[in-house]
Homo-oligomer: A and B are copies of this chain.
Amino acid sequence: MLYTHLNRVIRRRDLNMMYVIGPGHGGPAIAANTWLEGSYSDLYPAVSRDTAGMARLFRQFSFPGGIPSHVAPELPGSIHEGGELGYSLSHAYGAVLDNPDLVVACVIGDGEAETGPLATSWHSNKFLDPATDGAVLPILHLNGYKIANPAVLARIGDDELTQLLEGYGYRPYLVDGAEPEHVHQALALTLDRVLDDITAIQTEARAGHAVPRRPWPMIVLRTPKGWTGPREVGGVPVEGTWRAHQVPLAGVRTSPEHLRMLEDWLRSYHPEELFDAEGRPVARLLQQVPARRMGSNPHSNGGLLRRDLELPAVAEYAVPVEGPGLSEHEPTRVLGYYLRDVMRAAAPYRNFRVFGPDETASNRLDALYDVTGKAWNAEVLPTDEHLAIDGRVMEILSEHTCQGWLEGYLLTGRHGWFSCYEAFVHIVDSMVNQHAKWLKVTRALPWRRPIASLNYLLTSHVWRQDHNGFSHQDPGFIDHVVNKKAEVIRVYLPPDTNTLLATADHCLRSTDYINVIVAGKQPQADWLAPEEAALHCARGIGVWEFASNDGGVPDVVMGCAGDVPTLETLAAVSLLREHLPTLKIRVVNVVDLMRLQPASEHPHGLPDADFDALFTTDRPVIFAYHGYPWLIHRLTYRRANHDNLHVRGYKEEGTTTTPFDMVVRNDLDRYHLALDVIDRVPGLAQRAADVRQWLVDQRARHHEYILEHGEDLPEVRNWQWRAS
C-alpha cells in the first residue's frame, strides 16, 4: 500500500525517492513492487513480468538459495539489510546527506522502534541541513505486535506517542484505520501534506537566510497486523494480533481448510482484475508506475554514482625521518592534515564525510575543522566552536548512529571515515556483521556496482588508556572482523606516522572492503622515512634491516604488529644487541595483518615460501602483537614454523596505569620479550644467565618505581633506538 501511494506522489511531483523498509520480513513488499514496476525484471530477466516470471518470483522466495523474507542486497532499490532490526532510520539519513533532491521514505516497524539504535536515530534531524541535504520521511508503522508481544509504541496512547515524536523534533501525522478505502484516502491526503511540509522546510532553508530547525513531518500509520489476511484461523483471531506474524496459515500443506483459506485470501485481491491472461500487470496498474521507479533509483545502487576521491599526494604530509626513532610525531594528528585536504578536495563534489562518536578532536583529527565544521542543527551558544549546519564532520555520542549514517552514505555512492575508540567499536559489532554480509552477497550480484570501503580508524587503543583504565581496553574488534569472509576484510596496524598515512591513502582508494586501521594518537617514534613507509605498506610485511643483524641466518626472529608492540620489540632488540652482541636477530614488522594467513585463506595471504623466508622454518619467533595473542596463532597455525612461534599480546590484564606498566602487566614489555628470546634460543639461557637476571631485576625495579613515582622508569621514558 505504501509503495503504491508513494508511486502516486512520485508521479505527481516528479520526486527523486528511495524506499527503506525497516520491519522484519519486509522483503516481499519490495520484491513484489519492484517486479510490478519492472525494475526486478530489468535486473533479473529470467524473472520476467509474466506468468513464468511470476512463478519464478514466488518460487525463489524463501526457497533454497533464493531470496530471504527480509530486505536484502538481492532486492532492487534497497540499501538496507533488514534481517537485524534497528538501522533503517540511520541508513535513511545517511542516504540523504549531500543529496538535496533525494527523499527517502523510511518505514519503521513498531518492533524495530524498541531497539536502542532506532530509538536514538530519531535525533538525526539535528544533524541534517535542509538546504544541502535531502529529506527523510519516517513512516512509523504501528501494526501493534512483534513476534509474540504487543509493541510498546502501539500501547502508550496517542497522546504520549505524539509527545514522544514531537520531542524527537517531528510533526507526526496519524493515519489510522482498519477499513482499506478509508485508509487509502487518509494516506493519500496525508502524503500530500507531508510532502508539502518538506517542500516548505526546504524552500525556506534554501532561500539563503539562516532559519531555526523546524519539526520535520512524519507519518504514524496504525493498521492491523496481518491486515486483509485471514481474520480467524482455528477459532482464534489472527488479523490484528501477533499471530499474523510471518506465517498466518501454517497448515496449507496438510490442511485442506487452510489451503482453502489461503486461496480465498489471495482471491480476495481479485488477481483476475490485476493481471492479464499472460500474467502481466494490466495497463491500469502499469500506468501507476512512475518514470522514476524506486526500484531503479541509482542512489540505491550507489556504486553507479560513486566518484573516486581526489586524494592529495601522501608524500606532502609525510614527516621527515632522519633515522629510526630520532623523531616523534602523533600519527593521527598528522593524518588529520591529510584528511583535511581530502575533505578540501572533495568539497566541490560533496562526497566525503568523517564520522565519530564525539571523538574526532580527542583522536587528534581536528585539522579537519580548518576546512569544515561539525554538522549541527540545534541551538548554538556563543562559546561553541566549529559547529556548522552544513558541517561535514558528523559527531553524535552513538556509535550505532555514526555507523548507520556512514553505511547509508557509502551505499549511496559516497566516501567516509569512521574514527572510534578501539574498545567501544564493539558497540557496532553486529552492524559490521550485516555490512560484511551485504558486501559478500553483492560480490555475486554484478549489477551492484562497487561502493567505497568502510574505513575504521581505531585509536585511543588498548595500550594507552592511562586514565580511563580497564573499561576502555579491548582490542577484540580485529578478531571479530577476521571471522567475516576473507575477501571483504582488511586489517592494518601501521607502526608510525608515515605508515599510517600510506595505509589511509590505500584504504580511501579501495572499494567493497571493511578496512580496520589501528593506530595511536600519542606522540611516538618515527621509524620509516616516507618512501620506506610506502614500500613497507605496499608489501604489508617485511624485514626491518635497520634493526636486524642476522646476515641472512638469524638465531631468532622478532615479529611485531602494532605501534606499541613495535616499540617494545625494538627496545628489546636494542637491549639484546647491547648485552648479547653476537646474537643474530631479525626483526619482521607486519602492517597488513592478513599477510600472516596462508594465500589459500585470504587474498592478501603470503605464499608459504615467502612466509618461511621471513620467519624461517626452524628458528624461534617471538611475536609481539597489539591484540589478543591467540589471533596470531589462528592466522599462522598452518605455517611450517608455527611450533616455534611464541606470541605476546593483550591478555586482558589492565587497569588505570602508565603505558609501560600496561605492557609489563601483559608480558609484552621489552624486558619480557628479551627474556623470551633468551629462553627460546637454544643454550642461550645458560650462556646469558647474567643478562637474564638483569632483565628480571629490571622488571622488579619497574614495579617498585611505579608504585613510588606513579610514572615509568626514566630509562623507559627516555629510551631511544640505538642499534648498539
Residues of A bordering B, CB below 8 Å = 59, 62-70, 72, 81-86, 111-112, 114-121, 123, 126, 146-152, 155-157, 160-169, 237, 240-241, 246, 358-362, 374, 376, 378-381, 383-384, 387, 395-401, 423-424, 426-427, 429-430, 433-434, 437, 440-441, 467-472, 474, 476, 479-480, 483-485, 628, 630-631, 633-634, 637, 642, 652, 655-658, 661, 706-707, 710
Contact = CB atoms under 8 A, between A and B. Distances in A.
Nearest to A656: B68
Given A116-B116, A633-B634, A426 B437 contact: no
Count chain B CB atoms within 10 A of each CB in A69, A150, A631 and give the residue with the most: A150
B437 A379 contact: no
A121 B424 CA distance: 19
Given A64-B655, A165-B167, A637-B637, 15 more contacts: A65-B707, A70-B469, A82-B471, A83-B470, A83-B471, A111-B397, A146-B397, A147-B362, A148-B358, A150-B380, A150-B381, A156-B379, A157-B379, A423-B430, A634-B634
A603 to B, nearest CB: 15
B434 A471 contact: yes
A652 B601 CA distance: 13
A167 B157 contact: no
B424 A84 contact: yes
Nearest to A243: B383
B126 A120 contact: no
A380 B149 CA distance: 11
Nearest to A237: B383
A237 B385 CA distance: 12
B152 A123 contact: yes
Given A118-B116, A426-B433, A656 B471 contact: no
Contacts of A66: 655-656
9 contacts: A59-B710, A63-B656, A64-B655, A65-B706, A114-B396, A116-B116, A116-B401, A126-B155, A148-B362
Nearest to A470: B437
Contact of A655 (B65, B156, B434, B480): B65
A541 to B, nearest CB: 20
Contacts of A163: 163-164, 166-167
Given A68-B470, A426-B433, A469-B83, A633 B637 contact: yes
Contacts of A398: 114-116, 119
Nearest to A60: B656
A114 B161 contact: no
Nearest to A400: B116
A467 B160 contact: no
Nearest to A440: B652
B167 A83 contact: no
A509 to B, nearest CB: 25
Nearest to A241: B383
A64 B657 contact: yes
A60 B655 CA distance: 12
A211 to B, nearest CB: 15
A485 B628 CA distance: 11
Count chain B CB atoms within 10 A of each CB in A64, A115, A152 and give the residue with the most: A64
Contact of A384 (B150, B400, B631): B150
Nearest to A484: B652
Given A164-B163, A483-B628, A637-B642, A120 B111 contact: no
A59 B484 CA distance: 45
Contacts of A427: 84, 429-430
